[in-house]
Structure formats: structure tokens, C-alpha cells
């Protein structure tokens, strides 16, 4: 009996204790703070911090605390850090990651641990499709959601052939598949596609030579972080935009990268869930507050962090600050809807993916500045279930 009693005490000691009224609300943040996507992780975190300042960092007497871990854009590292946050730090919920492959690695652990994970960037389609989970909620986008409307849009604008180019990982392949489906369905042709290695590629000249030889009406691309800056500059130096239109997923000329890209970014047409030039009071208030605090333009990554934190605060207000009942916390997130810097936002309970507007923009020289100028909008873009069956306990 003494042995059994001792084992029971050991098991109880290893479980998170129920949160008290004055205990902090611990949020584990798994984002890249080093490597190719470090700037993205920093911008998301800055957006979250601004939202907690704006909407409140204390709910029902419980102060919100962030515990940050660097995913290093590596699936194994992201998973290890996630386990550390849950088991050692005993966080109440998780936020992250940036990269789709890291999100894929975290999914099963989060699902089996039954702890909410709010995804502020990674667009892996499977997370809100075939591999959806009641515990994975996305405030950013799915890779399909950003890109699938662009195939038909480009065809309607007169483009009849595309060459696809994207980083060789889950996000790159999923984004290109989305635009390929819609473009060919509209009657267009894909004349080539290439997937350069994510971290190793510094010289895009061989790929640009292939695109030039294929003579498409446009190239459709996806790169972010340092590779986006390198690609934009090399396309400009290659003189390719004079012959072939540069289009793609809008991160290529994110305001996070525009200072380094400069005039080389002019002429790009992209699709994204947020651009700083959105004409709304909510966006102006956000940009004024962020620029006053940080001295730079808030990016789409900033807004995704900002809206993630707002979702958390408003859901916690619904639960009265309670976090022990994780299912109730997720249900509260389904009740939240608001209009933020990017427009109306809510979570679809059928998939846990965000419903939002998608903006088509051109990167233009406006006076002395290079800016993203909105030229079209796709309203309330919502993903179909894509194989999602929202069942607790389904691995």
C-alpha cells in the first residue's frame, strides 16, 4: 500500500496543478528567434505585446506572461521546445510556430496533450484540413487560402502561362499547388516549376535562366525572410521583369523586407491577408501605435501576432480568466469575432482556420517610398473542410 500511495503521489506531482485566481496565465511561445525567419518571429512577438498593452494583459486578476522558446525553424527543435513548455513550464496554452514543417511536427503532441495551440503564421493546409485538431486554432492563414484565388485572378487579367518557383518545404509546395489548381482550371498553362532548397540557396541565377528560357507570361513565386530579399534583388539585376511579370504570395515584398529590397521590389503583384495601406480606422490606429513604439511599419506578421493576442484576451474574458478547462477556452475562441487592422476576423469552428479578407496588391514607388498598394480584395475567404473531422481523441 505504501508503494502504491507513493506512486500515486509521484503521478500527481507530475501533473499541472489547477490554476488559482491570482496565478499568472502562462503562454508558451514557440517562434524562430534565430536563423532565416528570426525577423518574422520578432515581428509576431512585437505584435502580441502591443495587443496586450492595448486590450489588457490581466484578466480576472491573472496577469498574462509569455515564455519564449526559439524553434530555430527546425521541426525536431520546435517539438522539443513545445514539450518543455508543457511539461516543465506548465503553460496554459501555446502560440506558434512560423514554419509549416515545424507546425506539422508539433501537431500530434499538442493534439494528444489536449492543450490549445494558436498558430500565428504557419500555413500548413493539413493543420486545418485532413490533420485538423480541436486543439489547433489558426489566426494567420492556410497556404491554400492565400493563393487559390490568384490563379483565376491572373487568368482574368490576361495571363495564360505561369512558371512556379518556391522554397522546397511544405509551404512552398502547398502554395504552388493552390495557384496551379485554380490557374489550370481557368484555362491557363504551367510551363515549369522549381523548388530551390530553403536554407542553402543564395544564387537564384540558374532558376532565373530557366524561367527566361521558358518565356511564360508571368512567374508566380513564394519566398520569405532573407531568401525573399535575395530573390527580389537578383530578379531586378537580371532584368527579367521587363519581359516576364513577377507575381506570387505577398510575403515576397513584405514591409519587413522592403527597406532592404528598395526599388528592386517595384512591379510585384501579390496576394496577402494584410498590407499596411488598408484604408480603415482600425488599421490606421494600429499602425500609428506600432510605429510610435517601434519606429517602423507594422507588417503582416505583426498583425497576425496582434490579432492572436486579441483573440486570447477576448476568449479569456469569456471564460472569466479560467484556463483549466481547455475545451471551454477553445469554445470561447469560437465565440470571438472582431474587426482589426486586416478587417473582419473570426475562427471557423468546422476547421479552426481563420475566416478573413485576402488583398491583391502591387508594390509601387509612391513618392520617395516603395509601398504595397491594394488593387483588389477577396472578402471573407473561408476554407472548405478539406477532409477535416473535428473529433476529440482522433490522432
| 54 to 30, 138, 280, 307, 315: CA distances (angstroms) | 22, 21, 18, 11, 15
Residues of the chain with pLDDT under 70: 1-21, 391-395
Residues 166 and 72 in one domain: no
pTM above 0.85, yes or no: yes
Residues 247 and 364 in one domain: yes
Q: Is 16 inside any structural domain?
A: no
Q: What whole-number distance in Å separates Cα of residue 150 and Cα of residue 177?
A: 12
Q: For the beta carbon of residue 5, count every other beta carbon within 10 angstroms.
A: 9
Query: For position 3, what pLDDT does the model report?
Result: 38
Query: For position 19, what pLDDT does the model report?
Result: 53
pLDDT tens for 105-150 read 999 999 999 999 999 999 999 999 999 999 999 999 999 999 999 9
Residues 170 and 252 in one domain: yes
Q: Work out how many domains the chain is built from and give that number.
A: 2
Contact 276, 255 (CB under 8 A): yes
b/e sequence 168-202, b meaning 16+ C-beta within 10 Å? ebbbbbbbbbbbbebbeeeebebbbbbbbebeebe
Q: Is 308 inside any structural domain?
A: yes
Residues 190 and 339 in one domain: no
Query: For position 392, what pLDDT does the model report?
Result: 53
Q: Is 1 inside any structural domain?
A: no
Contact 265, 363 (CB under 8 A): yes
Q: Is 65 inside any structural domain?
A: yes
Q: Is 5 inside any structural domain?
A: no
Residues 311 and 238 in one domain: no
* Paired residues of 93 in beta bridges: 27
Q: Which of 314, 332, 352 marks a domain boundary?
A: 352
Q: Is 392 inside any structural domain?
A: no
Domain with residue 188: its CATH number is 3.40.50.2300
- Classified as helix, coil or strand, 105 is helix
Residues 201 and 223 in one domain: yes
Host domain of residue 152: 144-272+358-381
Residues 27 and 132 in one domain: yes
Query: For position 20, what pLDDT does the model report?
Result: 56
Query: For position 256, what pLDDT does the model report?
Result: 87
Strands (E), the chain: 25-31, 58-59, 62-70, 93-95, 117-119, 136-138, 161-166, 189-194, 218-222, 245-249, 269-272, 337-340, 343-347, 354-366, 369-381
Contact 184, 110 (CB under 8 A): no
Q: What whole-number distance in Å separates Cα of residue 368 and Cα of residue 258?
A: 13
Residues 333 and 370 in one domain: no
Residues 137 and 149 in one domain: no
Contact 381, 147 (CB under 8 A): no
Q: Which of 332, 352, 372 marks a domain boundary?
A: 352
- Classified as helix, coil or strand, 222 is strand
Q: Is 15 inside any structural domain?
A: no
Q: Is 2 inside any structural domain?
A: no
Report the candidate in 42, 29, 148, 125 with the shortest Cα–Cα distance to residue 82.
29
Residues 163 and 236 in one domain: yes
Residues 149 and 175 in one domain: yes
Residues 88 and 209 in one domain: no
Q: What whole-number distance in Å separates Cα of residue 16 and Cα of residue 29?
A: 18
Amino acid at each position: 500500500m505504501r508503494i502504491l500511495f507513493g506512486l500515486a503521489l509521484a503521478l500527481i506531482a507530475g501533473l499541472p496543478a489547477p490554476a488559482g485566481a491570482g496565478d499568472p496565465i502562462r503562454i508558451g511561445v514557440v517562434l524562430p528567434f534565430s536563423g532565416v525567419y528570426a525577423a518574422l518571429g520578432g515581428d509576431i512577438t512585437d505584435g502580441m505585446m502591443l495587443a496586450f498593452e492595448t486590450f489588457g494583459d490581466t484578466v480576472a486578476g491573472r496577469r498574462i506572461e509569455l515564455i519564449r522558446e526559439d524553434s530555430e525553424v527546425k521541426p525536431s527543435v520546435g517539438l522539443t521546445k513545445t514539450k518543455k513548455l508543457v511539461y516543465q513550464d506548465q503553460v496554459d496554452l501555446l502560440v506558434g510556430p512560423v514554419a509549416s514543417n515545424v507546425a506539422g511536427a508539433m501537431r500530434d503532441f499538442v493534439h494528444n496533450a489536449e492543450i490549445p495551440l494558436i498558430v500565428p503564421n504557419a500555413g500548413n493546409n493539413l493543420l486545418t484540413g485532413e490533420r485538423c485538431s480541436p486543439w489547433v486554432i489558426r489566426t494567420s492563414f492556410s497556404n491554400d487560402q492565400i493563393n487559390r484565388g490568384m490563379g483565376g485572378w491572373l487568368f482574368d487579367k490576361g495571363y495564360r502561362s505561369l512558371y512556379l518557383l518556391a522554397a522546397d518545404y511544405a509551404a512552398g509546395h502547398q502554395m504552388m499547388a493552390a495557384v496551379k489548381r485554380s490557374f489550370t482550371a481557368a484555362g491557363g498553362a504551367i510551363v515549369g516549376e522549381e523548388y530551390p532548397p530553403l536554407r542553402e540557396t543564395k544564387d537564384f541565377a540558374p532558376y532565373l535562366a530557366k524561367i527566361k528560357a521558358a518565356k511564360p507570361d508571368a512567374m508566380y513565386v513564394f519566398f520569405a525572410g532573407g531568401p525573399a530579399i535575395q530573390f527580389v534583388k537578383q530578379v531586378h539585376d537580371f532584368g527579367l521583369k521587363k519581359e516576364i511579370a513577377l507575381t506570387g504570395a505577398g510575403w515576397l515584398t513584405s514591409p519587413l523586407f522592403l527597406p532592404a529590397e528598395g526599388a528592386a521590389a517595384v512591379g510585384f503583384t501579390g496576394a496577402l491577408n494584410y498590407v499596411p495601406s488598408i484604408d480603415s480606422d482600425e488599421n490606421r490606429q494600429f499602425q500609428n501605435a506600432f510605429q510610435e513604439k517601434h519606429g517602423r511599419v507594422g507588417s503582416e506578421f505583426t498583425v497576425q501576432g496582434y490579432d492572436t493576442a486579441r483573440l486570447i484576451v477576448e476568449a479569456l474574458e469569456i471564460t472569466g480568466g479560467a484556463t483549466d478547462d481547455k475545451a471551454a477556452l477553445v469554445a470561447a475562441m469560437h465565440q470571438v469575432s472582431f474587426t482589426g487592422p486586416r478587417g473582419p476576423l473570426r475562427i471557423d469552428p468546422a476547421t479552426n482556420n481563420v475566416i478573413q479578407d485576402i488583398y491583391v496588391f502591387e508594390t509601387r514607388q509612391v513618392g520617395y517610398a516603395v509601398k504595397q498598394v491594394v488593387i483588389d480584395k477577396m472578402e471573407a475567404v473561408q476554407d472548405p473542410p478539406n477532409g477535416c473531422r473535428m473529433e476529440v481523441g482522433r490522432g
